[in-house]
Structure 1
């Protein structure tokens, strides 16, 4: 296969999340591009918790692939197998590629259409509004941000957060964890650490939950905010089965190619890059891989390829609409200053601009 030839520009991207959507947008006028995704839209994931308390926020954060992908085809399906030259979809379609990008991130059950997703936000918002007491299970960034959104918008709710770790936000330092715990406590959120609630104890009908520590929590509704599995199960029977590490992540080289495969790239949360899995880093992966794909399609030498350097820990976790906790390389800050950076718009305008869309336009 002449990977530098004029005709060898068929690029298939599997996964339409943070990294997959951006690389598809970046390559659509440089290749014959196909995006394969199980849903018809890209959702800005760090905006989803705001949309649960303010459904209209989803109008800007849930974007049909067709809105930014004007020069590529979208196949709404899951991928179930790959060969050296083709991708097989769940519907039985074979899609030929010269270059493949795998960006399937984490497994999540989401509706197929944008309208269904916006309706889901509306239903979640109504559930939060009508509940007097709410249980959040999980004290990572998702659980903490959801607790912050609800505590600020609905200060009258009895809010309980149960986390099995010894501190919140274990992916960053203890100073940030302690500041976050104090902030939540000041908003009357009851935080129970080193306790869990098993799947068997969670039922849609029940209002009473018993923790692993024997404590009883009464709540009108609950939200499960624990970690999602890596989206690589489908790869276990493919030619890349030996390229997965023991956590199910694809092993990539410094150019973001799957090791041992010159024309297959992996980007975003599915990679084994030693750094925190964050959206802004997934976007950086997409831009580096897009540069390398353009160079390869132009017939440039391997030595010209761009390398990706893992980033040090830098995180901003929003706490409602005005505050946030930020861990930067040399300091940890909480309050309205980091809140101004992230919490007001949650980088939605910035992300829309990266996709070539108006930052503030909403649908009619």
Structure 2
């Protein structure tokens, strides 16, 4: 009898792990959303309504042998998953791929795609009417959103505030940051670095309303709408009971061994944003984790042991609108705007995920 593998979470890591194991195990993918959400293209969907329907992709064609169960994991233990409905799915192996939350519009909290699309379109209408935008966070999301806004509405003032002294924390060369800063300046994006706001705006993020914000350095910034572009929270409440709590950190992250198994649990793996691995929380890294875990599960099914996960070198693909941006990895060095657009900026990798999910 083939082994049963419960994959909890249908994001980038979850769909990859489920697809990789579909031919060799009975896979059950547990996911509360009614569609896969291609969050990589969410910021493009905010500024261009033509993209909204493209980033919500059905799960129907993902698995040939396995099945997708639309429900949340209420509790997980080494031998299975208890769903929100009360049903239990017994499993020989469990892969935790539940990811982490992130502020809208980079991610959506809604499980119903119709509600998420409506929220995205409403935010687009509010943003389109704004003359000034305030973004909190000069990391990849904040800068990508700044580039998308300026590409769509060149006349809209965009100000990015971050307490860090420079943009893009991480192991990137100064040449890369210099090129990103140059393009942002050319677009007219103002960077206010090395200071934080004395308080967040009183209005809700993503809702149009005139606001004035003060920085700790004494600067006053006026805008019509603002977005928070920092802050993640791993989804792992299901691990509070059932024997997995020892792997859960206070912030919700799950500790993993070098082979991506939870310490002390030979049949439970965790991948992607829910882990405490000291890596960027990206679709690329989640996909790499998923492939390593799929190989590890197959090794265990055949009587072997999983190999240690080998992290990818740190890299970044940062579009600044459909035709701008820059990329970097140790293997390729820095790549220009045209190459960045070919990798991600123009297509946002939608076709790749349509193919993975078997979308006609």
TM-score, normalization by structure 1: 0.87
Q: What displacement does 1:206 show? A: 5.2
> Which whole-Å CA distance do the structure 2 matches of 1:199 and 1:345 have between them?
37
> Which whole-Å CA distance do the structure 1 matches of 2:127 and 2:195 have between them?
23
Quote the residue 2:228 is aligned against.
Answer: 224
Quote the residue 1:352 is aligned against.
Answer: 354
> Which whole-Å CA distance do the structure 2 matches of 1:342 and 1:269 have between them?
21
Q: Which runs of 5+ in 1 are unaligned?
A: 1-5, 359-364
SS at match of 1:201: coil
Q: What displacement does 1:110 show? A: 1.7
Whether the 8 Å CA contact 1:36–1:74 is kept in 2: the answer is yes
Q: What displacement does 1:335 show? A: 2.3
SS at match of 2:292: helix
1:61 aligns with one of 51, 55, 59 = 55
Whether the 8 Å CA contact 2:78–2:267 is kept in 1: the answer is no
Whether the 8 Å CA contact 1:275–1:312 is kept in 2: the answer is no
SS at match of 1:34: strand
Quote the residue 1:113 is aligned against.
Answer: 112
Quote the residue 2:93 is aligned against.
Answer: 99
Would the alpha carbon gap of residues 165 and 328 (structure 1) be closer, same or farther in structure 2, given more than 3 Å must change?
same
Would the alpha carbon gap of residues 198 and 111 (structure 1) be closer, same or farther in structure 2, given more than 3 Å must change?
farther
Runs of 4+, deviation exceeding 6 Å? none
Q: Which runs of 5+ in 2 are unaligned?
A: 103-107
> Which whole-Å CA distance do the structure 2 matches of 1:178 and 1:247 have between them?
33
Q: Note the aligned Cα RMSD (angstroms).
A: 2.3
Q: What displacement does 1:119 show? A: 1.9
> Which whole-Å CA distance do the structure 2 matches of 1:201 and 1:337 have between them?
37
> Which whole-Å CA distance do the structure 1 matches of 2:171 and 2:36 have between them?
27
Count of residue pairs brought into register by the alignment: 349
Would the alpha carbon gap of residues 100 and 114 (structure 1) be closer, same or farther in structure 2, given more than 3 Å must change?
same
Quote the residue 1:361 is aligned against.
Answer: none
Q: What displacement does 1:29 show? A: 4.1
* Deviation readout 1:122-169 (Å, 9 max, x if unpaired): 112212211111111111111111101111111011111111211111
Deviates more, 1:68-77 or 1:251-260: 68-77
SS at match of 1:269: helix
> Which whole-Å CA distance do the structure 2 matches of 1:228 and 1:214 have between them?
28
